[in-house]
Amino acid sequence: MTGTLIWSGETLDALRAEVSAVNAAKEHKPFWGEEVGPGLMLVADQGVYLMGWQVRPDTPAGQRAPVAFANGCHPDGDPDWYDTKVRIIGGDDTAEFLPIDVFKDLDASVREVRIDVTKRSFNVRLVGRRSRRAS
């Protein structure tokens, strides 16, 4: 389990929307009972994606909230999504909380968001005209 998850193009647009939703939210969810404040959840289950970790009163019951799938990790559009998930993040379902501050420099100059995954860590990088580390 090691590799890099990437958001670019349409997936980066979806990620920007999630960051905006978190920043605009009035209430944020606890994570495993702990108040963690605003952030995104990196989730690996049916695909690999980032989702805003806030209360969403506008999402109807039973409907999935918007998410930003990593490139190559969408179960509806990427036939090899499961193999990509297993190679990069492992076969088990997982969720990791990332504070919103990690994405504070996600502006128009950023062309890609990369999350480097190792057995022990996640490193978020915002790649633009000049590469900037965000973690």
Q: Is residue 90 part of a domain?
A: yes
Cα separation, 67 vs 65, whole angstroms = 6
Q: Is residue 83 part of a domain?
A: yes
Q: Is residue 51 part of a domain?
A: yes
CATH code for the domain of 92: 3.10.150
* pLDDT at position 134 over 80: no
Please indicate whether residue 118 or residue 33 has the higher confidence score (pLDDT). Answer: 118
pLDDT digits (tens, 9 = 90+) for 36-52: 889 999 999 999 999 99
Number of structural domains in the chain: 1
Q: Is residue 102 part of a domain?
A: yes
Is residue 129 very low, low, confident or very high in pLDDT (cuts 50, 70, 90)?
Answer: low
Q: Is residue 15 part of a domain?
A: yes
Cα separation, 2 vs 45, whole angstroms = 17
Residue 117, helix vs strand vs coil: strand
Which domain range does residue 75 map to? Answer: 3-29+37-55+65-133
Q: Is residue 18 part of a domain?
A: yes
Q: Is residue 60 part of a domain?
A: no
Q: Is residue 78 part of a domain?
A: yes
Residues 81-95: what's their mean pLDDT? 95
Task: Give 116: exposed, middle or buried? Use CB within 10 Å, 0-12, 13-18, 19+.
Answer: middle
Q: Please state the pTM of the whole predicted model.
A: 0.87
